[in-house]
């Protein structure tokens, strides 16, 4: 018998057919069993095999999400929430079949409280849509994972991105949310107040839960004022370690960088070719400073002095919006740029995060590991908070090559955990990194997670097969 909170086998096909039939009668053309659409809703950009749901339903309101969940609960059918499909660790896969609830049509901005610096949005609102709407208010939403992800998905995976070093991650920028739990109830986790000491922090419980505890149907997010001045620039270094050491000293010196990104020489070469830039093809830092004109100039100068201590420079900076946009768009396009380094190969994106003091050591050892294995694997990272990504380019039809890449990723994760870091800084656990949870958290912490899962989802229907296993 399944343990509370966990499903270990697919439901009976006849039961699934009954549940899908009930939903089809209710939602009509908004429910699809098309093979192509089902596979799209399980799409993964990694080598994790695609596991398609039995049906896809497009929900348009919180009440409709409740209806779908109630039907699924009555038949014990799995539910997998879907935003834009940009997650990386198999979060969207329907491991045990079931229903994919597509929330992309729940894309209304419900309220903007400019005086309180917050906005209330539905989960299908993307970060670009929110920022376009905010443009004339002098405010912006700072979390930028690169992809134009939905805010519901970003909250579910506790996403962050290039601005996290200054503005934090999704856990720091979600004030409150509403979620439909496994019995079809709606939970409101908090009010709009900036702080509270009233009860358990349910907001942060749901942020990062990856749809395993409930389906987010509304979020209240923090906003920031658009800075008076913004400057961005690039600074080359003789080695990855020198660049990482410069990052460490920059953070320890209290220089308030808004973004500080590391690209190794392979990644720079890919970016230059793909985005038609002329950056020096050595390890490189991309930076951005926010503030007043005088403040930005002062901080840029201080960083230039630190870079020089580690053989870096010159620090070339730009202030024109179109030049900054071109630079950061190139950074956001590194995945596609990297694929061009080896046409036909699959890019397997993985990330870790370590305490800032161990960053240079971790990246340097990872770099040597890549060289020793012979992999083609560019490195890029949000290094201001100790987070970096590696993208091995792999021929997935070559079993020996796949084995080498998998062993490399395992060593990379083990290295980060040994340095008191984490197996994932922002990608999330999904099914792809579930096997590392015991090493990172320990058995007692996993037992607590399983207890929470069992309490909130006793039938185990909420995105089963993700984050923690039933063992």
420 inside domain: yes
Long-range contact list for 198-206, CB < 8 A, 24+ apart? 203/174, 203/175, 203/176, 203/177, 204/171, 205/452, 206/155, 206/156, 206/177, 206/179
Last residue of a domain, one of 398, 414, 431: 431
Per-residue exposure over 295-320, b if at least 16 CB sit within 10 Å of its own CB, e if not: ebbebbeebbebbeebebeebebebe
Q: Is 365 left (phi over 0), alpha (psi -120 to 50) or beta?
A: alpha
User: So what's the pLDDT on residue 147?
Assistant: 85
Q: In Å, what is the CA distance from 369 to each residue of 271, 342, 374, 375, 405?
A: 23, 20, 9, 9, 11
50 inside domain: no
Between CA 269 and CA 263 the distance in angstroms is: 10
Q: If you count them, how many residues does the chain have?
A: 471
* 205 and 244 both lie in a single domain: no
Burial class (CB in 10 A: 0-12, 13-18, 19+), 332: middle
As for how many domains the chain has, the answer is 2
**CATH number, residue 212:** 3.30.465.10
User: So what's the pLDDT on residue 1?
Assistant: 46
Q: Residue 415's domain spans which residues? A: 227-431
44 inside domain: no
* 127 and 241 both lie in a single domain: no
Last residue of a domain, one of 201, 225, 249: 225
Structure tokens at 383: 């290094």
Is the preceding omega at residue 425 within 30 degrees of 0, hence cis?
A: no
What H or E segment, with its residue span, contains residue 245? helix 240-252
User: So what's the pLDDT on residue 320?
Assistant: 85
* 184 and 276 both lie in a single domain: no
Between CA 295 and CA 289 the distance in angstroms is: 9
What H or E segment, with its residue span, contains residue 180? strand 174-180
* 274 and 383 both lie in a single domain: yes
* 203 and 346 both lie in a single domain: no
Burial class (CB in 10 A: 0-12, 13-18, 19+), 260: buried
Q: Please choose, from the candidates 119, 71, 341, the residue with its C-alpha nearest in 3D space to the C-alpha of residue 218.
A: 119
Query: Taking CA 347 as the corner, what is the angle to CA 468 and CA 241, rounded to the nearest 5 degrees?
Result: 90
Structure tokens at 305: 């002095």
* 256 and 194 both lie in a single domain: no
The tens place of each residue's pLDDT in the chain, 471 residues long, gives: 478 899 999 999 999 999 999 999 999 999 999 999 999 999 777 788 899 999 999 999 999 999 999 999 999 999 999 999 999 899 999 999 999 999 999 999 999 999 999 999 999 999 999 999 999 999 999 999 988 999 999 999 999 999 999 999 999 999 999 999 999 999 999 999 999 999 999 999 999 999 999 999 999 999 999 999 998 999 999 999 999 999 999 999 999 999 999 999 999 999 999 999 999 999 999 999 999 989 888 988 999 999 999 999 999 888 788 989 999 999 999 999 999 999 999 999 999 999 999 999 999 999 999 999 999 999 999 999 999 999 999 999 999 999 999 999 999 999 999 999 999 999 999 999 999 999 999 999 999 999 999 999 999 999 999 999 998
* 275 and 379 both lie in a single domain: yes
* 309 and 422 both lie in a single domain: yes
């Amino acid at each position: 018998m399944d343990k509370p909170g966990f499903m270990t086998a697919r439901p009976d096909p006849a039961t699934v057919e009954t549940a899908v039939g009930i939903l089809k009668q209710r939602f009509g053309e908004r429910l699809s069993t098309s093979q192509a659409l089902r596979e799209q809703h399980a799409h993964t950009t990694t080598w994790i095999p695609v596991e398609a749901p039995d049906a896809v339903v497009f929900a348009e309101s919180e009440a409709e999400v409740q209806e779908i969940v109630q039907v699924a609960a009555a038949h014990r059918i799995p539910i997998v929430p879907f935003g834009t499909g940009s997650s990386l660790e198999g979060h969207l896969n329907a491991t045990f079949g079931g229903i994919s609830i597509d929330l992309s049509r729940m894309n209304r901005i419900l309220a903007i409280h400019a005086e309180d610096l917050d906005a209330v949005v539905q989960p299908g609102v993307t970060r670009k849509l929110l920022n376009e709407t905010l443009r004339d208010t002098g405010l912006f939403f700072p979390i930028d994972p690169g992809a134009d992800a939905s805010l519901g998905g970003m909250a579910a995976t506790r996403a962050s991105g290039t601005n996290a070093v200054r503005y934090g991650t999704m856990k720091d920028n979600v004030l409150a949310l509403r979620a439909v739990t496994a019995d079809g109830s709606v939970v409101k986790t908090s009010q709009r107040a900036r702080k509270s000491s009233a009860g358990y922090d349910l907001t942060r419980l749901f942020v990062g839960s990856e749809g395993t505890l409930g389906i987010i149907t509304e979020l209240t997010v923090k906003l920031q004022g658009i800075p008076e001045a913004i400057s961005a620039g690039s600074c080359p270094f003789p080695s990855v370690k020198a660049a990482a050491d410069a990052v460490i000293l920059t953070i320890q010196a209290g220089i308030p960088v808004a973004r500080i990104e590391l690209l190794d020489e392979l990644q720079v070469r890919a970016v230059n070719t793909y985005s038609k830039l002329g950056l020096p093809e050595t390890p490189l830092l991309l930076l951005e400073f926010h503030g007043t004109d005088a403040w930005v100039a002062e901080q840029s100068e201080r960083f230039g002095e630190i870079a020089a201590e580690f053989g870096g420079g010159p620090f070339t900076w730009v202030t024109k919006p179109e030049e900054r946009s071109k630079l950061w768009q190139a950074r956001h396009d590194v995945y596609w740029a990297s694929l061009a380094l080896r046409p036909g190969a699959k890019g397997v994106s993985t990330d870790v995060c370590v305490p800032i003091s161990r960053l240079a050591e971790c990246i340097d050892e990872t770099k040597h590991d890549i060289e020793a294995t012979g992999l083609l694997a560019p490195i890029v990272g949000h290094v201001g908070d100790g987070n970096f990504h590696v993208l091995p380019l792999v021929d997935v039809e070559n079993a020996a090559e796949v084995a080498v890449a998998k062993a490399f990723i395992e060593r990379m994760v083990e290295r980060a955990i040994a340095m008191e870091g984490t197996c994932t800084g922002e990608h999330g656990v999904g099914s792809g990194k579930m096997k590392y949870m015991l090493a990172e958290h320990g058995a007692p912490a996993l037992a607590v997670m399983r207890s929470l899962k069992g309490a909130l989802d006793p039938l185990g229907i909420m995105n089963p097969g993700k984050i923690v296993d039933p063992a």
